[in-house]
């Protein structure tokens, strides 16, 4: 098998260098490797220096974003970061492709993150096939594409928003970059730029699964073409168990406090714990953290709350109660898979949403920004696997609202039985012959034919 991989097709995978984009693309890389494709993951020098990597089936190589010593935090603005990454990234990626070719590991296809569309230009410049890999939901990609094409007029005006392929949505159920027009001009330009050269991509992959987003996937297929759902990209142990030793994503940016979490959860009753996390980027206000802390300490349930080190100073230490465990980071999959966890209070980042669906954990949605409001809309109104904790007119989700949502999710039967149903469907999608597995298989077969043709 190893020999077959050595002589087989070779994919170079290039994610945008943040947790929520690396995790799904790395997981896709492992699926390809399992199907005997050789894979190399390109990560920035800064991440290579500051993270630990444990995915044995994937080789790791550096490119540069121009901030080798400090990463994104050392750029003054997002525009400065994107510009420098583009300039230095183009050059170092071209060098990497040449170097791999020179050492007998010719790259056949570049799988790139559309947040960095210049990777597609580099791949095409080198005469390679290229596959875009969208790490957000198809619904969100579709909305952004409509905005890019000028078919969704901004700023929004009036009541419900009609977007082809999607249910009618209230303005605040759209991504925040759309409904708070002008809120983050730099990131929003990057989001729209995903589509500038997409027509040149040979394949378009999305981290979703057909059963979850059937209508919008079908719409995108007719509108854009070449679209394939390949998710959920969750370590295999939690789904089909076909990949050996695939228990975690394999790239650690924040150190998880796994033992503490597991020991604590092991002492709790099944479905009794509220798990709270807002992912790797979201910054809550001091007032919002206080409301959450009050809700959790008064609702009478055990809770496990992730507060990243950068958010720690906002935490009201006096409110810590014996019912709670607060950690700076955990292995979220391990936590969600634990039988003691009964609900997930989440910002609805796309990975967290897919993880909750795949592990059958009902959601209390507290979206903060970007695509999260749209993910929350689908969780509540389309997939029926959670409830939305609504903010007041000042944008603050009050403690009574949070308590009410946690109680309705943990005590109601309807939402938890929907959550369990999604768990089964997600597993089936990636299992042998499942809808996503077939799409990955189709790509692998095309790569084999490509390799055989170029070897002639």
Q: What residues are labeled active site?
A: 21, 113
Find the binder of ligand UDP among 8, 15, 66, 349 (CB under 6 A).
Answer: 349
Of the pair 219, 350, the CB lying nearest ligand UDP is at 350
Look at residues 297, 291, 326, 295 and name the one whose alpha carbon lies nearest to residue 312. 326
Using an 8 Å Cβ cutoff, are 68 and 46 in contact?
Answer: yes
252 interacts with ligand UDP by CB under 6 A = no
279 interacts with ligand UDP by CB under 6 A = yes
134 interacts with ligand UDP by CB under 6 A = no
Using an 8 Å Cβ cutoff, are 203 and 131 in contact?
Answer: yes
Of the pair 93, 307, the CB lying nearest ligand UDP is at 307
Q: What are phi and psi of 204, to 5 degrees?
A: -130, 115
Using an 8 Å Cβ cutoff, are 194 and 117 in contact?
Answer: yes
40 interacts with ligand UDP by CB under 6 A = no
CB neighbour list of residue 18: distance below 8 Å, 6 or more residues apart: 72, 280, 281
Find the binder of ligand UDP among 178, 201, 284, 330 (CB under 6 A).
Answer: 330
Min dist. Cβ of residue 164 to ligand UDP (A): 25
Min dist. Cβ of residue 415 to ligand UDP (A): 20
Here the tokens at position 148 are 């890019």
351 interacts with ligand UDP by CB under 6 A = yes
Min dist. Cβ of residue 375 to ligand UDP (A): 9
Of the pair 8, 349, the CB lying nearest ligand UDP is at 349
Q: Three-state DSSP class for 115?
A: coil
Of the pair 36, 427, the CB lying nearest ligand UDP is at 427
Q: Three-state DSSP class for 426?
A: helix
Helix 435-455 × helix 19-34 angle, to 10°? 70
Find the binder of ligand UDP among 57, 142, 233, 277 (CB under 6 A).
Answer: 277
CB neighbour list of residue 95: distance below 8 Å, 6 or more residues apart: none
343 interacts with ligand UDP by CB under 6 A = no
Residues at the site binding ligand UDP, with contacts judged by CB under 6 A = 19-20, 23, 277, 279-282, 306, 329-333, 349-352, 355
């Amino acid at each position: 098998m190893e020999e077959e991989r050595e002589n087989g097709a070779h994919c170079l995978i290039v994610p945008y260098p943040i947790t929520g984009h690396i995790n799904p693309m790395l997981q896709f890389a492992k699926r390809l490797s399992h199907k005997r494709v050789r894979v190399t993951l390109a990560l920035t020098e800064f991440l290579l220096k500051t993270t630990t990597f444990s995915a044995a089936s994937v080789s790791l190589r550096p490119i540069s974003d121009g901030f080798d010593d400090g990463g994104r935090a050392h750029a003054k603005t997002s525009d400065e970061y994107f510009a420098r990454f583009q300039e230095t990234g183009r050059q170092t990626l071209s060098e990497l492709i040449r170097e791999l070719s020179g050492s007998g590991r010719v790259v056949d296809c570049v799988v790139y993150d559309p947040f960095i569309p210049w990777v597609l230009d580099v791949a095409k410049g080198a005469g390679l096939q290229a596959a875009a890999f969208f790490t957000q939901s198809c619904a969100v990609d579709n909305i952004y594409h409509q905005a890019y094409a000028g078919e969704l007029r901004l700023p929004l005006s009036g009541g419900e928003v009609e977007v082809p392929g999607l249910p009618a949505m209230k303005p605040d159920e759209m991504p925040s970059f759309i409904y708070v027009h002008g809120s983050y001009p730099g990131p929003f330009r990057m989001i729209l730029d995903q589509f500038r050269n997409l027509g040149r991509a040979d394949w378009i992959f999305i981290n979703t699964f057909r059963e979850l987003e059937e209508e919008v996937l079908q719409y995108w297929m007719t509108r854009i073409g070449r679209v394939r759902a390949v998710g959920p990209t969750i370590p295999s142990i939690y789904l089909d168990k076909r990949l050996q030793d695939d228990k975690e994503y394999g790239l650690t940016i924040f150190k998880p406090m796994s033992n503490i979490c597991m020991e604590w959860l092991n002492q709790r009753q099944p479905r009794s714990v509220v798990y709270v996390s807002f992912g790797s980027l979201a910054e809550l206000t001091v007032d919002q953290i206080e409301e959450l802390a009050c809700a959790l300490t008064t609702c009478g349930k055990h809770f496990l709350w992730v507060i990243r080190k950068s958010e720690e100073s906002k935490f009201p230490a006096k409110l810590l109660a014996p019912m709670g465990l607060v950690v700076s980071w955990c292995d979220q999959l391990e936590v969600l898979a634990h039988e003691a966890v009964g609900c997930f209070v989440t910002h609805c980042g796309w990975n967290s949403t897919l993880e909750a669906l795949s592990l059958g954990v009902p959601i209390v949605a507290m979206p903060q920004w970007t695509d999260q409001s749209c993910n929350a809309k689908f969780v509540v109104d389309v997939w029926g696997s959670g409830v939305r904790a609504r903010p007041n007119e000042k944008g603050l989700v009050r403690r009574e609202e949070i308590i009410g949502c946690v109680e309705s999710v943990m005590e109601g039967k309807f939402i938890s039985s929907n959550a369990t149903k999604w768990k089964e469907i997600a597993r089936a999608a990636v299992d042998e012959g499942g809808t996503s597995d077939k799409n990955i298989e189709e790509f692998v077969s095309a790569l084999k034919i490509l390799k055989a043709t170029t070897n002639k």
